[in-house]
Amino acid sequence: MCNPDTSAPDTVYSGALDRIRRVMLVLTVAFPIGAWCFFGWRIALGMLLGCTVAYLNFHWLKSGVEGLADRIVQAGKSQSGKGIVFRFVVRYVLMGLVAYGILTVSPASLYGLFAGLFLPVAAIACEAAYEAYVALARGL
């Protein structure tokens, strides 16, 4: 017989990646607006680019790990090893190109870019706060 108390944490944790992704999208809009209000448009533009790169990095990392897992267990549609490695390399090339472009156009925007690259950290912190709230609310 299934105990409802043991499946509650599984329900909360199963949606964590989707919640993190949604929070990242919200913060991608909110952070540059806040940066614009406090630091100006150049830092806000850098932060928007940093958040965009961080979101793409997160998405590609997630799909790369899923592809690698599919390749290991041979379940469903397997991805080519070259495609997985290519996406891992492209992530860092993209970050480097954006940083170089910002550095040559507006060095002040580089601060915003670096701050925006921490978008996943902020989203994971929001997820941790949500999970702590759910655990306390349910008395787990």
Handedness of CA 40, 46, 47, 52 (dihedral sign): positive
- Reported as a single tens digit per residue, the pLDDT across 59-74 is 888 877 777 777 777 6
Cα 96 from Cα 90, distance rounded (Å): 10
Residue 4 has pLDDT above 60, yes or no: no
Of 48-52, 75-79, 100-104, minimum mean pLDDT range: 75-79
pLDDT in tens, 81-124: 677 778 778 878 877 887 788 778 877 788 888 888 899 999 99
- Rounded to an integer, what distance in angstroms lies between the CA atom of residue 76 and that of residue 78? 6
Question: Is 0.85 surpassed by the pTM of this model?
Answer: no
pLDDT value of residue 10:
63
- Higher per-residue pLDDT: 7 or 112: 112
With residue 12 as reference, give the H or E element that holds it. Answer: helix 4-14
67: Cβ contacts below 8 Å, ≥ 6 apart: 78, 79, 83, 84
The residue extents of the domains of the chain are 16-127
- The tokens of 10 are what? 């599984």
pLDDT for 1 = 41
